[in-house]
Chains A and B, each alone.
Chain A
Amino acid sequence: MAESPIPGSILQRAMMPGAGQTYERDKMETGGRMNNDELDRILSKQDDIQPSSGFAASVMEAVHEEASAPPPIPFPWKRALPVLIFAVLALAAVVAAGAVGIAQFGRNVTPEAASSLWDLLPPYLHGPAGTAAAWTAASLLAAFISVKLSLRLAGGRV
């Protein structure tokens, strides 16, 4: 099947003698608005450009670069999956614990109940210093886990 890469026949048709003579008649027919033939004639007559001489070479250079580039590193699903599962389970546990806590708190909204929830925490966490210490410990733990997981994912070490 022969295919023509550059539209051209429409240009020839548009340049045929008399192709532009329909304009005045069309104007009369449509009250000043162009009809489709006139639009077709004008819009088909577009200037074609020639690619620059080095275009194909430039494309091929890019293609060769693409071909010689190493394949993208696949995401390490094998190593990441246990971590992701653990994270999802931990999140679910936190959400569940929170939901249970809220449900219990909703049933016992008296000040006594609220203070009894606070009493569930270890005594060393009572007071501002204890709270700050607990948050610091939690942050350090989170940072430690993050570093360990990053090393494991990047370096393949367990």
Chain B
Amino acid sequence: MAITAADDQLAVERVLAGDIPAFEGIVRRWQSPLVNLAYRFCHDRGRSEEMAQEAFLRAYRNLKQWRKEAAFSTWLFALATNFYRSELRRIPVHVPIDDIHEPADPRAQDGGLEAKDRDRAVRRAVFALPEKYREALILFYFHEMDVPAAASSLGLPEGTFKARLFRGREILRGKLPQLLAVSRLKEA
């Protein structure tokens, strides 16, 4: 089903006029992206649905605040991202990654690792990043590497977002040899 900005605007206008069931159109259109965005933040299906539901409720409460200067989706993602970030600060996600230790020669060890394990290690490493870099990376890939969209979801200027993205990738690359070595050790 093609989603148009006009559909969103019409639905919002109807809800604001008192037609509450019209909000269901918004929910049905955006439930998958909002749940998936939450899932990328917490990697917990149940929690991601709870967070997405609360994000929709907040959107409903604050519908008047959408000024129509930006697309409804931009406003909705910014609102949801803001809520997800504060929610994860309240109850952080725990990914078991702290058991990283420095191998004798990480480069020598990562040669035979399966690509699947390597990819999993990279994704896990994102959760070991400091919050601001982790959020930048999550939003960047969620928005299909669209810097302006990701930056506006985080409410950051593009320059700041790019700097965080660059630094996040740098840290990630730096941690990766250790992660790959740990994965190998666990396999052995």
15 examples of A-B residue contacts, CB within 8 angstroms: A3-B73, A4-B3, A6-B33, A7-B141, A20-B115, A32-B177, A34-B173, A43-B122, A43-B141, A48-B32, A49-B35, A49-B48, A51-B49, A59-B56, A63-B27
B152 within 8 A of A: no
The answer to whether B141 touches A60 (Cβ under 8 A) is no
Task: Select which of A7, A40, A44, A56 is within 8 A of B31 by beta carbon.
Answer: A56
- Nearest A residue to B8 via CB reads A3
Convert B1-32 into 0s and 1s, putting 1 for each residue whose CB lies closer than 8 angstroms to a CB of A.
Answer: 01111000000000000001101100111111
- Among A5, A45, A63, max chain B CB count under 10 A is at A63
Could you tell me if B145 and A40 are in contact, using CB atoms closer than 8 angstroms?
yes
The chain B residue with its CB closest to the CB of A7 is B144
Interface residues of A (CB under 8 A from B): 1-7, 9-10, 20, 23, 31-34, 36, 39-40, 42-46, 48-52, 55-56, 58-60, 62-64, 66-67
CB within 8 Å of A: which of B141-161?
A: 141-145
Instruction: Check if B31 sits within 8 Å of A59, measured CB to CB.
Output: yes
List of B residues within 8 angstroms of A48 by Cβ:
32, 36, 39
Contacts of B36 in A (CB 8 A): 6, 48-49
* Chain B interface SS verdict (over half): helix
Once the chains bind, are A46 and B123 in contact (CB under 8 Å)?
A: yes
Q: Is the CB of A1 within 8 A of B4?
A: yes
Check A60/B27 contact, CB under 8 A, given A39-B122, A67-B20.
yes
Cα distance A45–B1 in the bound complex, in angstroms:
23
The answer to whether A56 and B141 touch (CB under 8 A), given A5-B33, A6-B36, A34-B173, is no
Contact B115 A2 (CB under 8 A): no
Q: Are A60 and B142 in contact (CB under 8 A)?
A: no
Residues of B within 8 A of A66 (CB): 57, 60-61
- Please give me the residue from chain B that is nearest to A60 by CB atom: B24
Interface centre among A6, A20, A42, A66 (most CB of B within 10 A): A42
Instruction: Verify if B183 is at the interface (C-beta below 8 Å from A).
Output: no
**In the complex, what residue of chain B is closest to A8 when comparing beta carbons?**
B144
**A43, A49, A62: which contacts B137 (Cβ < 8 A)?**
A43
Besides the known contacts A6-B36, A34-B173, A43-B123, 16 further A-B residue pairs in the complex with CB atoms under 8 A apart: A1-B5, A3-B3, A4-B3, A5-B30, A5-B33, A6-B32, A33-B176, A39-B169, A42-B118, A42-B119, A43-B137, A51-B31, A51-B52, A52-B49, A60-B27, A63-B60
Q: How far is the CB of B71 from chain A (nearest CB, A)?
A: 7
Are B176 and A62 touching (Cβ within 8 A)?
no
B32 CB to nearest A CB, Å: 6
Across chains A and B, which 3 residue pairs bring their CB atoms closest together, nearest first? A32-B107, A7-B144, A51-B35
Task: Compute how far the CA of A66 lies from the CA of B59 in the bound complex, rounded to whole angstroms.
Answer: 12
A56 to B28, CA, bound (A): 6
State A5–B56 Cα separation when bound (angstroms). Answer: 15
A23 partner residues in chain B, CB cutoff 8 A: 115
Produce 1/0 per residue, B103-131, CB < 8 A to A. Answer: 00011001000010011001100100000
